[in-house]
Structure 1
Amino acid sequence: PAPAPSRSSLSERDEAFLEDLSRRLFRYFWEQADPQTGLVADRARTDGSPHDETHRDIASIASTGFGLTALCIAAERRWISGGQARERVRATLRFFAERATHERGWFYHWMDKATGERRWNSEISSIDTALLLGGVLTARQYYRSDAEIHRLATKIYERIDFRWMLNGHATLLSHGWRPETGFIKHRWDTYSEHTLLNLLAIGSRTSPVPPEAWYGWKREWITYAGYRYIFGAPPLFIHQYSHAWVDYRGWREKRPPRVDYFENSVKATRAHRAFCIDLAREFPGYSSNVWGITASDSAKGYVAWGGPPRDPAIDGTVVPCAAGGSLMLTPDISLPALMTMREKFGDRVYGRYGFVDAFNPNTGWVGPDVIGIDVGILLLSAENLRTGNVWRWFMRNGEILQAMRLAGLERYRRERAGPRRRAAA
């Protein structure tokens, strides 16, 4: 496997910042989970106080996948005792393996945190089940000497009927299914955060989809500020979520143009920062170190925004997990951005669970919440920058390496650029 970033590339000040931030981010997954089910809240108030009745008891299975991974990070760093972490992981896996409602192994997107009952009439979600599996399989390898954890995690993965989610298509998986109406008509047909889902499906030992599924989706290219890369939806998270677990460093597609998806996400992040700097003419709150737009809360509610290209909804809001989710990709620009946000805006935007979900430096609006998946991508990205541990644990799953090879990805020696220096403030 490719080497983890060298610890020496982070200064003591960098490490101190990342340690404080990461502990706060983990606190969310510890405090906002039900100890019996392990289900993690979809969102919470920034100070940890009870949410309104609409959201108070709602858990997200994607947040729970990040949470399982967070428990492994916390155990390794001794933020909690090994016994505490192991018991929470066991409880979570027991719930999903033995109690949670599922359809051919796939789970509902939103559940009641305490009971696991379907909430908000949500769909059986293919992508959210995949993000849950990211955590399930990370735990399987972190606790690989624990027979019960290994058995439960394997049961959860191997029970999933991936071929069923194709809904008759040769290669493209559906977004999901509802008992009332059947399959969702949308499929994973263009580049997005779904590459993890694709690999899990191709690598399945019980219900694999054809390896051609990897090449079934469209690859559309964009060029911005001199960066050319494959893109899909506007939010930056599509270039981050799969990378939290799958270590794409040093892998590329065999077929021309031999795309390296790690480098693709690096270019997407650099282009996105340039895009935000260009927006500063309209919204002067953006700058070289205050940037980042991805799906988030806003003064007008939840918005799946980003760019390039320009999203007409953009109103000057900054989403810390946009820059933060790319710590593992572009530390030279992402780390100064987070440090600048904390220094410039202080405890208005930085609190019990790290950064608020979003804030607008142009209007003074600060979001009252944090969102589990946004907390999660920031924590996992920070850990991969610091140690590469999440990549290392997840990539021990033989199904993933098998899937990458079946899909036609190959190892190669990336040309090493010079040492990455921190961008000037």
Structure 2
Amino acid sequence: MSKVRFQQWSCFLLFFGMIFLASCGSKEEPPVSGTFQLAEIEINGVVNAASYAEVDPNLHVTLTFSDNVDPNTLQNNITLQPTTAGQAVALTYHTEGNTVAIQSTTPLNQFTAYRLTINTGLKSVSGNPISTGKIYTITTGIDPVDKFPRISDEELLTLVQKQTFNYFWDFGHPVSGMARERTTSGNTVTTGGTGFGVMAMIVAVERGFITKEEALNRIQTIVTFLETRTTRYHGAFAHWIHGETGETLPFSTYDNGADLVETSLLFQGLLTARQYFNSDAAGEIKLREDITRLWEEIDWTWFQKEDEKVLYWHWSPQHEWHQNLKIQGWNESLITYLLAAASPTYPISKEVYDEGWARNGGMRNGASYHGITLPLGPNYGGPMFFAHYSFLGLNPNGLKDQYADYMEQNRNHAMINYSYCVENPQGYSGYSEHCWGLTASDGNQGYSAHSPTNDRGVIAPTAALASMPYMPEESMRALHFFYYKLGDKLWAEHGFVDAFNLSENWFDNQHIAIDQGPIIIMIENYRTGLPWNLFMGIPEIQAGLTKLGFQQRKN
């Protein structure tokens, strides 16, 4: 090899030797800043999602990093807060090498959005800060843990009836015996709600919650108060009454007199009681006579307003017909026309029913919603109480006239309400096949007649539970959800609270008579048909149905 070539080769080896040594030296130096990072996040079994929905409120988070974590930097740099205003959630941290297990010290609120933040102050044991902070959105779902021990469905139905009945028994006014409007109503008692309460007492006797004598005494107190102390208007009663004096309490500015629909709901209950207390005992004879006398004094024809072919809802001595509200279908008021036609003293004609209530067929719907045809009423059926109030005593099974099959009407209405909630077009939290039911109730924005066309995210237990005769499987699923899954929020001394809104994490603390009553009564109609059998056995009711052209299926 020539001298020149040797020198060239030596320089070549020296150059690559220096590169090799430099390379070996770099491996011994500490890692450069920025290599500490989050490798994996797992929340309740779901790995590396951008956000997490329907998370179990009993939160479990596992974070896996590229290096072991300095535990002293965890508390201030891994935090959980509600996305709305609220204090940070208390967390526990358990480190094992490069893994951190995190739990909330108490369950999170259900159906609530939280923000899990990993700040850049988090460091590895070698002192490197995490390269990039992270924020994850977590939305909780239902706490799957049962809040009460499981019992049979029959036991659960009895429990619901018994505890809900306590509202009417405990909140009956001490003077009048009538049902208070709601938990906080004091001296304000409700006419229609009292009718529901009377029917609930009959169920309570048959279920062994109270004795027959106790029910008789309470109902007699109510009837005596109505006859001797309560202001009446051509035989009809006001919506709200002072439970001690019997004076009318205005429901609104011009509504300070008769309310014919509330009067009808009252007498649906009183006539059922007259049918139930049918013995020759002196107390039962007196009750029957007193109820009959009140019933026969209602001048239904007066409310035709100078012989119009329609009934009017309100009248007062001061404002007369100022409200000017015709009772026209379809809504909760079929019972009003039936009782008016059945009256032995002041009956309306079938013409008033056809022209006034049915509007000569104008109350028909016939459209399809969620693939279900609705025979009568507004779009999507309206609030569910349309299918409940008139049918606490009036049995829709096999009941038909020229306008509808009434079991089909009520069942389809309930199915539409249910299907709407399952579809949940507005994306409210909690709506599902287990959680449904839109009707008039309290809400986080105040009282409203909730329905698919007035949906504010508010579910009222009475909507699904009082639909038990129409959709028993769907109603029972809802009952399981309300009691077992939300029972710590909904179940109270006097039954389920009136309503809740999971999107707003709002739960009512009130009970309302006209929502509690249908739960008890319609569950009993599902179980034994007792209220239906009593009411449909009243001779005047049978005469009224015949007069209006109803056909009935005979058992």
TM-score bracket for this pair, using the shorter chain length: 0.7 to 0.9
User: Matches of 2:508 and 2:525 in 1, distance apart?
Assistant: 27
SS in 2 for 1:168: coil
Shift of 1:99: 2.3
User: Matches of 1:135 and 1:189 in 2, distance apart?
Assistant: 22
Shift of 1:281: 5.4
User: Matches of 1:332 and 1:399 in 2, distance apart?
Assistant: 35
| Cα pair 2:398 2:406 within 8 Å, conserved | no
Q: Do structure 1's residue 264 and structure 2's residue 409 form an aligned pair? A: yes
SS in 1 for 2:431: coil
- Pick one of 288, 293, 300 that aligns with 2:438: 293
- Pick one of 110, 125, 135 that aligns with 2:269: 135
Q: Do structure 1's residue 82 and structure 2's residue 212 form an aligned pair? A: yes
SS in 2 for 1:128: helix
Which range moved further: 358-367 or 200-209? 358-367
User: Matches of 2:168 and 2:334 in 1, distance apart?
Assistant: 25
- Pick one of 423, 432, 441 that aligns with 1:278: 423
CA offsets per residue over residues 112-152 of structure 1, 9 Å max, x none? 12222211353410110000001110110010222101101
Q: Do structure 1's residue 231 and structure 2's residue 377 form an aligned pair? A: yes
What's the TM-score once normalised by structure 1's chain length?
0.88
Structure 2 counterpart of 1:267, which letter? Answer: N
| Change over 3 Å in CA distance of 1:142–1:348 after alignment to 2 | same
The answer for the alignment partner of 2:509 in structure 1 is 368
SS in 2 for 1:59: strand
Q: How does 1:149-160 map to 2 (within 5 A)?
A: 149-160=287-298
- Pick one of 426, 441, 447 that aligns with 1:302: 447
CA offsets per residue over residues 146-188 of structure 1, 9 Å max, x none? 2101101101110000000111244311011122210231101
Which range moved further: 138-147 or 75-84? 75-84
The answer for the alignment partner of 1:345 in structure 2 is 486
Shift of 1:370: 0.7
Identity of aligned residues (%): 30
CA offsets per residue over residues 307-349 of structure 1, 9 Å max, x none? 3xx22xx221111111112112221211211111211111210
- Pick one of 340, 351, 356 that aligns with 1:201: 340
The aligned length equals: 388
Which range moved further: 219-228 or 283-292? 219-228
The structure with more radius of gyration: 2
Shift of 1:282: 1.4
CA offsets per residue over residues 347-391 of structure 1, 9 Å max, x none? 210111111100012221001101000000111111111110000
Q: Do structure 1's residue 252 and structure 2's residue 391 form an aligned pair? A: no
SS in 1 for 2:391: helix
| Cα pair 1:171 1:209 within 8 Å, conserved | no
The answer for the alignment partner of 1:389 in structure 2 is 530
Greater RCO, CA 8 A, separation 6+: 1
User: Matches of 1:25 and 1:213 in 2, distance apart?
Assistant: 38
Q: How does 1:96-175 map to 2 (within 5 A)?
A: 96-120=226-250, 122-145=256-279, 146-175=284-313
- Pick one of 330, 349, 359 that aligns with 1:191: 330
User: Matches of 1:185 and 1:173 in 2, distance apart?
Assistant: 10
SS in 2 for 1:190: coil
- Pick one of 379, 389, 399 that aligns with 1:241: 389
Shift of 1:413: 8.0
User: Matches of 1:363 and 1:398 in 2, distance apart?
Assistant: 50
User: Matches of 1:382 and 1:228 in 2, distance apart?
Assistant: 25
User: Matches of 1:339 and 1:25 in 2, distance apart?
Assistant: 16
The answer for the alignment partner of 2:62 in structure 1 is none
User: Matches of 1:413 and 1:131 in 2, distance apart?
Assistant: 25
CA offsets per residue over residues 238-269 of structure 1, 9 Å max, x none? 1211111101211211x3xx511122000000
User: Matches of 1:234 and 1:83 in 2, distance apart?
Assistant: 40
The answer for the alignment partner of 2:318 in structure 1 is 180
The CA RMSD measured in Å over matched residues stands at 1.8
User: Matches of 2:227 and 2:502 in 1, distance apart?
Assistant: 45
Structure 2 counterpart of 1:252, which letter? Answer: K
Q: How does 1:24-103 map to 2 (within 5 A)?
A: 24-44=163-183, 51=184, 55-103=185-233
Shift of 1:97: 2.4
User: Matches of 2:488 and 2:230 in 1, distance apart?
Assistant: 38
Q: Do structure 1's residue 400 and structure 2's residue 541 form an aligned pair? A: yes
User: Matches of 1:223 and 1:64 in 2, distance apart?
Assistant: 36
User: Matches of 1:214 and 1:120 in 2, distance apart?
Assistant: 29
| Cα pair 1:321 1:378 within 8 Å, conserved | yes
| Change over 3 Å in CA distance of 1:210–1:284 after alignment to 2 | same
| Change over 3 Å in CA distance of 1:348–1:280 after alignment to 2 | farther
Structure 2 counterpart of 1:211, which letter? Answer: K
Gaps of 5+ in 1: 1-11, 45-50, 415-425
User: Matches of 1:89 and 1:118 in 2, distance apart?
Assistant: 20
User: Matches of 1:375 and 1:265 in 2, distance apart?
Assistant: 19
Gaps of 5+ in 2: 1-150
- Pick one of 14, 21, 38 that aligns with 2:153: 14
| Cα pair 1:319 1:359 within 8 Å, conserved | yes
